[in-house]
Amino acid sequence: MNGYNVHFVLPSDAPDELKDGVKDQIVARRITAPTVYGYDLAWFADEACTIPWEFTSSIYSAKTLYSKWSLHKFTVIFKTQDGGLVESKSADYKTTTTAPKAPTREGYAFLGWYKDTAGKTPWNFATDKVEGDVILYAKWAKGVENNGYYNKDVTITFNEATATLNGKAFTSGTIVKKEGTYTLVARDASGNETTVKFTIDKTAPKAPIVNKVTSTTTLVTGTAEPGTKIYVRVETKIIGTGIVDKYGNFTVSIDKQKVSTKLYVTAEDEAGNESDATKVTVSK
C-alpha cells in the first residue's frame, strides 16, 4: 500500500496487552485511532503530550504520535431482586471490585451476590475481575431475617444451596417451631458460606410492675423485663412509650392525666409478644 507511515509510541509503563494491540499504520490521508479493549487512549502530536491529535486531520508525511493511557472504567450493577434500590459502581478493567452494603428485605436473609438470577454462580470479590459491564444479583433465603426475632413458627426456603441449622443438616422448606436461638449456615456449590442468626420466642413478658400515678405525674415508672418496650395507654390510645433498661427499670413520659383515669401499661419483647396489661388508676 502506498502512503505514509504512522508510528504510535506508548509509554514504557503500558501493559503488554496494550502494546500488542497498538500497531503502526500506513495511510494515504487519514489516521484511524487505535483502540484496545479495556483501555482508554489519548493521542498527541508531541512527545510531551501537550498537543492533542485530531484524527479528522489529514497527513502529508510520515507521522509519530504519542499516547497517554488509562484503564477503562466499567459499570458494576447490583440488582437486589426486590430488596430495594439498584446500586451501581465503577471498576477499572481487570481489577476486583468491592461489595456494597448488604441489602435488607423484610422476611428474607441476604445470602450474597451472584452472576445469575437463579443464584448458581457466586461472584468472588477477592478474585473475580471486572472485564466488562457486569450485573450481579442478590440471593435470598425466604422466611427469616438476619438477627430477626419471631413469635411464631418460621419456614425457611432457599435454592441452589445446602444448609445446617445449629450444626445439623437442614432442608429448604422445613418449619422451625421450637423456641430458641438459631444459626443457619447456607453453603453454595462453590463452598461460600453465609450465616444467618435468628430467635424464636413465643413467650410474652410478665406484666410490668407500675409505681403510683397521680394527677401531677408526668413520668410513669416501674420495672419490667429488660429490653422490652413499654406502652402506656388510655383505653386503646397510646399516650407514651419507653424502653426498659438493662436493670429492669423504665420511665415513660406522659401528659398529666385526670383523677380516676385508668392507664393500661404493657411490655412488648423483640419478637412482638406483648404482656398482659397492668391497670393503674390515676389518684390525687
Instruction: Write out the chain's pLDDT in tens, 284 residues.
Output: 578 999 999 999 999 999 999 999 999 888 999 999 999 999 999 999 999 999 998 999 999 999 999 999 999 999 999 867 789 999 999 999 999 999 999 999 999 999 999 999 999 999 999 999 999 999 999 999 999 999 999 999 999 889 999 999 999 999 999 999 999 999 988 888 999 999 999 999 999 999 999 999 999 999 999 999 999 999 999 999 999 999 999 999 999 999 999 999 999 999 999 999 999 999 99
In terms of CATH, what superfamily is 74-200? Listeria-Bacteroides repeat domain (2.60.40.4270)
CA dihedral 143, 145, 151, 157 (to 10 degrees): 20
pTM score over 0.95 = no
Q: Which CATH architecture does the domain made up of 4-70 adopt?
A: Sandwich (2.60)
Output the CATH code of domain 209-281: 2.60.40.10
Q: How many CB atoms lie within 10 A of CB 42?
A: 13
Name the segment(s) of the chain with CATH classification 2.60.40.4270.
Answer: 74-200
Instruction: Extract the C-alpha cell encoding 284.
Output: 390525687
Position 45, amino acid: A
Residue 211 contacts residue 159 (beta carbons within 8 Å): no
Instruction: Extract the C-alpha cell encoding 128.
Output: 473475580
> What is the C-alpha separation between 161 and 190, in angstroms, rounded?
10
Name the segment(s) of the chain with CATH classification 2.60.40.10.
Answer: 209-281
> What is the C-alpha separation between 140 and 57, in angstroms, rounded?
56
CA dihedral 205, 211, 212, 218 (to 10 degrees): -90
